[in-house]
Structure 1
């Protein structure tokens, strides 16, 4: 295959669900069964990802346990007990040197000052390797933990998120890079001319500032976003530097890539200031038969109660119990509206309509990969697909979701990464010490620099 994009290389992130991305991963004997609260497990994953020269590790989050059918949820523990990601990443920071440390934090149930302070602190602790995945919360149960009777409506969540991120960016500019003199001879600690109050007053927030954390080594942490709705794309084009997206066909990925990068000009941004990284659920075998056996084994572990619960959640909590598992999705689902994540909702409906998948087939596909694209194959076949998407401008890189942990990550690092390196598609060494260095992103200038 002729090399295209010869001056560019893939970007790789590693998404760590505690025991792995597959919904039944905790039942596989190779998985760390208590992973959610096992620090040594995460520390070893981070070291393995850094050995594989990954740009970043990424942790999802929610500020509520999963709400739903407890008969099913008792068989699916992964959202029930796990570390706060910023606390965990702060502990991992001194154990790594180059790996980016990225976490989700919702704009729906936080305050801008809290988020600005926590991520600026992580960036300083890690020497410039922090990243913030800006989300608006799809878990509707979170509302009940924060004094609300209902979740914010979808578009209102994004409207609030735009102002939220603007306030956070302003707080991150509170101090100029050279504001701190720290001179004993003159007894001067900082220069007041280089300290800036934000004095923000908007529709949702009133924040005086300044932030009581020095300016980030990266100017500010790297901003990621994962929404693919219209409102989510606008937010990403305006603010994001990396986008995580579930894409299942090259054509669909190319259309998303063109659309999102095409929106950036109106916000005064260049296309190369945003890295689009579709989700990838690789199941790697030294032979195709071995890879298929791994996939079939994991799918055989999915209990129907869990499969239905995961699928129901993606469909706006539509109750699928009582329907024929080997029959079609009921017509009533087509009329359902979702106030949760719209991307998964639309993907499931498309599979049902276009491929005529049964309920069982739908939950095996969706639950088995949490809505991400599954690639079952050898290192060569998986690298072929990644190269086709990269060179076809469907992706700048991938967010890799290992099906099981730690084994799935070991397989990818030991088998697929060398194949990508041999093709010149992926680095042999890190470009620098910060996440921005390795992603090839600009250091943003302070709004007060002029």
Structure 2
């Protein structure tokens, strides 16, 4: 009997979930996103279910603006914890699940990122992952001595160099550099410690890194963009890509476009896992799942709903809410704007329909149905070659995660699609990712 490939599962656990009205749910703790106890509950539940990783997206500023007026004060997605601090705390109360966080290449320096994620990899026993982003909002720029964000081409050019510097710093120490010989008094072999001496357009970094080689060789690299430069960064270096496709045809095109780039970097197609995002409303019956969806959507005020489209589609407040979706105006994130407009046109959505879907999953694909119905969709994407797994973005935490574990996970396992036990102790082992070679060895 042939064993089918096992999918990979990540859990996005930002805020109280991905639905705009999650904090208003009758069973939600509105202050949960600022409590360690909330995240411990979520991470431990995900680990018990054998998820590959938990993921904290991050923005270094409040990106949302009060547009249209009154929207900002209605949003709970404005107050959160710093992710690396939080993941370090979670590493002490988990043992197998991966710990992945976003960190910006625009508002950090390579040495900072190399040191912090290497430290998390050691503290967690080899479970750290870095989601590479360039940042995109002017709100973040104004927190770092700028009036506006770095222009598109420059920030991606900087990001590509940034990643290479970080990888170089992670190679500073060869695997056996620390001999720690008490008798001779020699702590490390100087021939196995290497200064990077990088000089490039954006960075001059001498090194070496003051953290030894990590349990994974280097933390797992994650990427989420669909720009040309972003996809090249992913093809060259990433082990995981978070995708945002809403239909199978688009998802398949993106998957193949990305995987076709791997060969020129000497990588096989299975060395990069593509994991589209899913926000799932599920229950014992389809009507129960739909009731959960409708109940939460009813808690979204129009101003807040429109604010979810503002950054991608522009100000739509002058258009009829039940009219067609217009072309985006100066979108901040072009890939998301393109995906939203494609979805609206394919499904004949009104502005209200589109902001409801976006507010329900913050732009991810929304699925509504029973366990078998949802898994049918997941299986179709995997079997078509459009996904290696999925990044689950529950509408509300921890309730949405509990529903996934109750209704979706048993069906995945019944079909032989997902593990019952972890394969190893590190995120790299559980993903089936290669151990990177040290460039100096």
Alignment of 1:370-409 (within 5 A): 370-409=362-401
Q: Deviations over 1:363-402 (max 9, x none)?
A: 1112211111111111111111111111111100000011
> Aligned partners of 2:421, 2:325: CA distance in 1, in Å?
48
> Aligned partners of 1:329, 1:448: CA distance in 2, in Å?
54
Tell me, yes or no, if the aligned pair for 1:14 and 1:399 is still in contact at 8 Å.
yes
**Is 2:62 the counterpart of 1:65?**
yes
Which of 299-308 and 145-154 deviates more?
Answer: 145-154
- The aligned residue for residue 128 of structure 1 is 126
Tell me, yes or no, if the aligned pair for 1:20 and 1:31 is still in contact at 8 Å.
no
> Aligned partners of 2:379, 2:120: CA distance in 1, in Å?
33
- Report the aligned-residue RMSD: 1.4
**Is 2:301 the counterpart of 1:303?**
yes
**Secondary structure of the residue that 1:133 maps to in structure 2?**
strand
Q: Deviations over 1:117-166 (max 9, x none)?
A: 00000000000000000001122211111112221122221111100000
What is the number of residues matched between the two proteins?
A: 439
How far apart are 1:67 and its partner, in Å? Answer: 4.1
Match of 1:329 among 320, 325, 330: 325
How far apart are 1:263 and its partner, in Å? Answer: 0.7
> Aligned partners of 1:329, 1:373: CA distance in 2, in Å?
18
**Is 2:15 the counterpart of 1:23?**
no
**Closer/same/farther in 2, CA of residues 299 and 67 from structure 1, 3 Å limit:** closer
Match of 1:9 among 6, 13, 18: 6
- Unmatched tracts of structure 1, length 5 or more: none
**Secondary structure of the residue that 2:390 maps to in structure 1?**
strand
- Unmatched tracts of structure 2, length 5 or more: none
> Aligned partners of 2:7, 2:347: CA distance in 1, in Å?
31
> Aligned partners of 1:276, 1:99: CA distance in 2, in Å?
18
Match of 2:48 among 19, 33, 51: 51
Q: Deviations over 1:77-127 (max 9, x none)?
A: 21x221110000000001111000000001011000000000000000000
> Aligned partners of 1:420, 1:293: CA distance in 2, in Å?
23
Runs (4+) off by over 6 Å: none
Tell me, yes or no, if the aligned pair for 1:158 and 1:235 is still in contact at 8 Å.
no
Alignment of 1:247-396 (within 5 A): 247-315=245-313, 318-330=314-326, 333-334=327-328, 336-338=329-331, 340-396=332-388
> Aligned partners of 1:322, 1:255: CA distance in 2, in Å?
35
TM-score, normalized by length of structure 2?
Answer: 0.97
Tell me, yes or no, if the aligned pair for 1:30 and 1:404 is still in contact at 8 Å.
no
Tell me, yes or no, if the aligned pair for 1:32 and 1:405 is still in contact at 8 Å.
no
How far apart are 1:180 and its partner, in Å? Answer: 0.8
- The aligned residue for residue 75 of structure 1 is 74
> Aligned partners of 2:253, 2:343: CA distance in 1, in Å?
18
> Aligned partners of 1:238, 1:342: CA distance in 2, in Å?
22
**Secondary structure of the residue that 1:57 maps to in structure 2?**
strand
Tell me, yes or no, if the aligned pair for 2:311 and 2:333 is still in contact at 8 Å.
no
Q: Deviations over 1:202-255 (max 9, x none)?
A: 000000000000111000000000001222222211121100011111121111
Tell me, yes or no, if the aligned pair for 1:64 and 1:142 is still in contact at 8 Å.
yes
Which of 291-300 and 176-185 deviates more?
Answer: 176-185
Match of 2:187 among 186, 189, 206: 189
How far apart are 1:362 and its partner, in Å? Answer: 1.3
> Aligned partners of 2:220, 2:88: CA distance in 1, in Å?
16
- The aligned residue for residue 33 of structure 2 is 36
Match of 1:230 among 221, 228, 231: 228
